[in-house]
Amino acid sequence: MSKILKITDGDYKVKTGYAGTITLDTGPQAGAVVITGSLVVNGDYTIVESETLTVKDNVIELNVGETGPGVSLTTAGIIIKRGTGTDTNGFASSDVQIIFDETVQHFDPVTVTNKYGTLIFKYANNTLLGIRTNSINTNGQSLGLINAGNGYITVTGTSNYETKILDYTAWNLAGNPQPAVTVGRTTVIDDDRIPNIKAVKDFVDSSLYYFTTPIIAEGDTSVRTYDDSISGGLSRIVFNVNNVERGQFNDNGFNVDNVRLLSNTVSNTDVTQDLTLTAINSNIKVSGYLNLVDQVTAPADTSGVNKLYSKATTGPGNTGLYFVNTRSGENFEVDGAGPEELVSKKRAILFSMIF
């Protein structure tokens, strides 16, 4: 049967001897003590040994009564007891602390300065511990990471993280070594994903490997390089102007249209066309000896042009230098003497004396 102690006027106080204990005994792990009003505990410790603690209040206040600017004791937070012995990582067990520390600085990307007062997740031995979450909301502000010392960001422990950043499908299908086709490049899966250095390296490697021939270009004017180890063709540097190939460097030298420069030789690669040296409003000057290689056959005459050439056999002029034009009317004589030969000085004097 219930018993009620009712005080209708004034306070009610239960007092024991100094350092005594008041026990409300409802039986071992049975019954309940219900307080319908507020509970104020003024002692130094409040110990709750129940297995389940339910708190209806949506905000828990710590360090209540603080009078200083900040936490006067420098730290405030929550401690999670972990017992003793060796934990699952093989280390001595250490309590977990979620602490706000007034003395620890952090970088503020908004003011771009270091500020005191930092929330820390750590073990009681001051070793930092990990946080598992799938999103950090900075309310639209910048996010500072590390910002001091020699730390770095790593994704160690993930499985082929770079494949979550780049699409390797075409690259892997191409085989190794990859052929010189553009379909083998790695491509970006999502513009907003942060790559690791492996993804960056693979993207650069594949881009250079499958570059549509390494190129310097603006519009339809370009300089491109080809390497036989990649393209399978002739190694060369090709110059395109207005989308027309005008020249290239290759094993045969420097070629501009059908003119080729190789070593100390200028040649014409189109046997149907003449090699022409043109000086605009000036003379063509040869500073050195002009060597004419002996020709087997005489050239055909061309209107308005004097053709000078050398033959291994000399005629009456004793020079071996011959010319062909259409003005002399004696290019091919009836007696078969052929084109006219330039006459040496001595022969010219002799002929003048004879004739």
Per-residue pLDDT tens digits for 158-173: 999 999 999 988 888 7
- Are the C-beta atoms of 213 and 225 separated by less than 8 Å? yes
Give the span between the Cα atoms of 149 and 156, in whole angstroms. 20
Q: How confident is the model at residue 70 (pLDDT cuts 50, 70, 90)?
A: very high
- Which amino acid appears at position 21 of this protein? T
- Are the C-beta atoms of 133 and 108 separated by less than 8 Å? no
Residue given tokens 């040496």 in the structure block: 344
- Average pLDDT rounded to a whole number, residues 98-103: 96
- Average pLDDT rounded to a whole number, residues 41-59: 88
222 forms beta bridges with: 217, 240
Q: How confident is the model at residue 118 (pLDDT cuts 50, 70, 90)?
A: very high
Tell me the whole-structure pTM to 2 decimals: 0.56
- Count CB atoms within 10 A of the CB of residue 178: 19
Give the span between the Cα atoms of 268 and 276, in whole angstroms. 9
Per-residue pLDDT tens digits for 271-301: 888 888 888 888 888 899 999 999 999 888 8
Sheet strands (E) in the chain: 75-80, 96-108, 113-123, 166-167, 187-188, 215-218, 221-226, 236-241, 244-250, 253-256, 259-262, 265-268, 307-310, 321-324, 340-341
pLDDT > 70? residue 270:
yes
Q: How confident is the model at residue 355 (pLDDT cuts 50, 70, 90)?
A: low
- Are the C-beta atoms of 223 and 215 separated by less than 8 Å? yes
Higher pLDDT, 52 or 101: 101
Alpha carbons within 13 angstroms on the beta-carbon side of residue 312 total 3
Which pLDDT belongs to residue 102?
Answer: 96
Omega of the bond leading into 316 within 30 degrees of 0 (cis):
no
Give the span between the Cα atoms of 69 and 241, in whole angstroms. 73
Q: What is the mean pLDDT of the chain?
A: 86
